[in-house]
């Protein structure tokens, strides 16, 4: 399976993401610069964390207007898995691929530590290897991870089982403890915590491995089913 890790000016978790796929999963991956990327040939698209465009205006807002977003939208519409982590999640929100918006953390601090998360939905492309309700430890590293949406959107998220991860001890003030959501179709996941930084015991947690393995497993199964 071939992954594209899209690199924007100011991305800084791109290499972690690449390492997780290439060295831990032993799958194929390329770091692709946002201006020269052709995403057609890839099976999945990863939007890494960082501070694209210095977080100018709003986190993710400038990257969301870049041309590559049109490609990402087109590939997402075809059903390809798209995973946005941290700033990647903020970009997906600003681009309208996921509903809601991010605000400054409730305590106004940049927080960088490990947080326990609950797998709220294990019937997704990204979480099928986890158990329903499983508690996993992923690092967070953000100043603007306070997820906000209006009540009607929240009801829709709940009704469609779009809430994939929640915080066990909400660190940032997110509505309904939301740490990660997917789109209605199920192939786009955005999350603030970093699964790519939790792929080896040496890093303090290897709980993120199953997320990437789920993507690969589901891709293989659909590939076989369509062959």
Q: List interacting residues with other proteins (CB under 8 A).
A: 57-58, 61, 65, 93-94, 99-101, 103-108, 146, 148-150, 173
DSSP codes of every residue in 17-50:
HHHIIIIIS--EEEEEETTT--GGG-SEEEE--B
Contact between 196 and 48 under an 8 Å Cβ cutoff? The reply is: yes
Rg (CA), the chain: 16
> Residue 127 or 146: which CB sits closer to other proteins?
146
Q: How far apart are CA 162 and CA 176, in angstroms?
A: 12
Cβ 148 to other proteins shortest distance, Å = 6
User: Is 57 exposed, middle or buried, given 0-12, 13-18 or 19+ CB atoms closer than 10 A?
Assistant: exposed
Minimal distance, residue 203 CB to other proteins, in Å? 30
Q: How far is the CB of 140 from other proteins (least distance, A)?
A: 17
One of 13, 94, 120, 194 is an active-site residue; which one? 194
Indicate which residue of 13, 19, 27, 86 is catalytic. Answer: 86
Q: Is 19 a catalytic residue?
A: no
When the beta carbons of 105 and 121 are compared against other proteins, the nearer one is 105
Q: Residue 192 corresponds to which tokens in the numbers above?
A: 């603030």
- CB-CB contact of 5 with 21 (8 Å): yes
DSSP 160: T
Known active-site residue 120? no
CB nearer to other proteins: give 6 or 93.
93
Q: Is 86 a catalytic residue?
A: yes
CB closer to other proteins, 116 vs 143: 143
The two tokens of residue 221 are 């199964």
> To the nearest whole angstrom, how small is the minimum distance from the Cβ of residue 101 to other proteins?
4
Would you name the residues annotated as active-site residues? 86, 194, 196
């Amino acid at each position: 399976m071939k992954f594209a890790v899209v690199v924007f000016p100011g991305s800084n978790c791109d290499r972690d993401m690449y390492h997780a796929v290439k060295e831990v999963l032993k799958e194929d991956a390329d770091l692709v610069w946002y201006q020269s990327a052709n995403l057609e040939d890839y099976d999945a698209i990863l939007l890494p964390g960082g501070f694209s465009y210095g977080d100018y205006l709003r986190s993710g807002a400038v990257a969301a207007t870049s041309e590559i977003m049109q490609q990402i939208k087109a590939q997402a519409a075809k059903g390809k898995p798209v995973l946005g982590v941290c700033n990647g999640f903020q970009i997906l929100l600003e681009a309208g691929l996921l509903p809601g918006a991010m605000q400054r953390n409730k305590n106004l601090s940049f927080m960088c530590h490990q947080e326990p998360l609950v797998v709220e939905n294990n019937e997704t492309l990204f979480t099928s290897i986890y158990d329903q309700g499983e508690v996993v430890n992923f690092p967070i590293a953000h100043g603007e991870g306070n997820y906000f949406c209006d009540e009607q959107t929240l009801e829709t998220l709940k009704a469609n089982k779009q809430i994939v991860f929640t915080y066990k001890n909400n660190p940032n003030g997110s509505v309904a403890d939301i740490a990660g959501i997917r789109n209605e179709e199920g192939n786009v996941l955005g999350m603030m915590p970093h699964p790519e930084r939790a792929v080896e015991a040496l890093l303090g947690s290897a709980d993120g491995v199953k997320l990437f393995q789920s993507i690969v497993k589901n891709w293989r199964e659909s590939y076989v089913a369509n062959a």
